[in-house]
Structure 1
Amino acid sequence: MHVFDGREPRLIGGVAAGALVVLGICWWFIRRLRPSADELERRRCESISMNGRITDGYLVDARSLDGEESLSPTPEVLFYSYRLAGVTYNCAQDVSRLPERVRGFRLDQAVQVRYDPRNPGNSILVSESWSGLWLRQSSTEPKEQQHHD
Structure 2
Amino acid sequence: MILNDSVFGELEYEYGWIKDTTIRFLGKETGITLMIDGEEDGNFDEEQYVAYTSFMQNWEYLQQSFVQSILDYYKQRRHELGYDIEVNENYPLVETIDKILEMVDLDGIVVPYGDMCEGRDIRFTLNCTWDTENGLGIRMLNEIVTEVGHQDIAI
TM-score, length-scaled by structure 1:
0.29
Larger Rg belongs to: 1
Structure number with the higher helix fraction is 1
